Amino acid sequence: MIIKKYLSLIKFSHTIFAMPFALIGFGLAIYSGKANFSWLLLILVIACMVFARSAAMAFNRYIDRRFDASNPRTAVREIPSGQISAGAALTFVIVCSIAFVTCTWFINPLCFYLSPVALLVILGYSYTKRFTPLCHLVLGIGLGLAPIGAYMALTETFAWLPVLVGVLVFCWVSGFDIIYALQDETFDRSQKLNSIPVLLGTIKALRVSELLHLVSALLIIAIYFTGHFSWLYLCGGSIFIGLLWYQHSIVKPNDLSRVTLAFGTTNGIASVIFCAFVCADMFLLA
């Protein structure tokens, strides 16, 4: 079924990484007292997230199609296996990008004017492995924009609290993307592609990931005090930090067999649980 193929192309299930933090940013705007709840804006924010991420993921698959075809781990992906043509994938990218910008037009002028910047970051990420090992950080920036953008959708302003949440997402995503990249260290080195694992090797790359996730944990604490949250936030934050620790406990330099579990399942659960507790703190205990 063609829809199923496109959902697989963009790994639609991975939307769960950034979407909960966009909802946190949306909730923070209401919690701050600077905006009122709006179903229309909530739908538009969710649509922006879906369209932006779909465009970014499909573009990444389009740009990397030659490398994916040569890599045994990725040769079964939709474009190299012939399930979706390169032209069709690029058309999908263009449609999703236009839809994203259109949604920002209906949100507010500031979001609309900044939408090309957001697209530049999330689409530009696909080129970064060709010239810098800091590609993971660019991905982190792209997803870190989610809570900031959602906050701006309601308030048309910047504020420190959603920025702190954005930095949390930046560190968290950059850290787990380094773990994911461990699978392709040998292949990337053979193709002269860049990544932290290629630059530093498996052991040191894991240390960098651990450092980024340590900063994430510290930011969880900083956000607690900055936002004047209560025990529900602490519960969600503790679970989030515990799952960060768990993914590092199951990925070892000499055993990468559970990278997929650490990357997908653990981080997806962490983001949803954290979002649920933070939103409950903001609106059930308000």
Identify the structural domains of the chain with CATH numbers, from first to last: 2-284 (1.10.357.140)
- Region 171-184: what's the mean pLDDT? 95
Res 98: pLDDT: 98
Amino acid at 105: W
- Region 52-67: what's the mean pLDDT? 95
Helices (H) and strands (E) in the chain, counts: 14, 0
Each as own residue / partner, the long-range contacts of residues 141-144 (CB below 8 Å, 24 or more positions apart, any chain) are 141/170, 142/56, 142/118, 143/17, 143/18, 143/21, 143/169, 143/170, 143/173, 144/168, 144/169, 144/170, 144/173
Per-residue DSSP letters for 169-186?
HHHHHHHHHHHHHGGGHH
Res 260: pLDDT: 81
Res 137: pLDDT: 97
The per-residue pLDDT of the chain, averaged, comes to 93
Condensed to tens digits (0 to 9), the pLDDT of residues 112-169 reads 999 999 999 999 999 999 999 999 999 999 999 999 999 999 999 989 999 999 999 9
- Region 198-214: what's the mean pLDDT? 97
Taking the model in full, what pTM does it have? 0.94
CA distance linking residue 286 with residue 282, whole number of Å: 6
* Residue 264 pLDDT level (bands cut at 50, 70, 90): confident
Res 286: pLDDT: 59
Res 16: pLDDT: 78
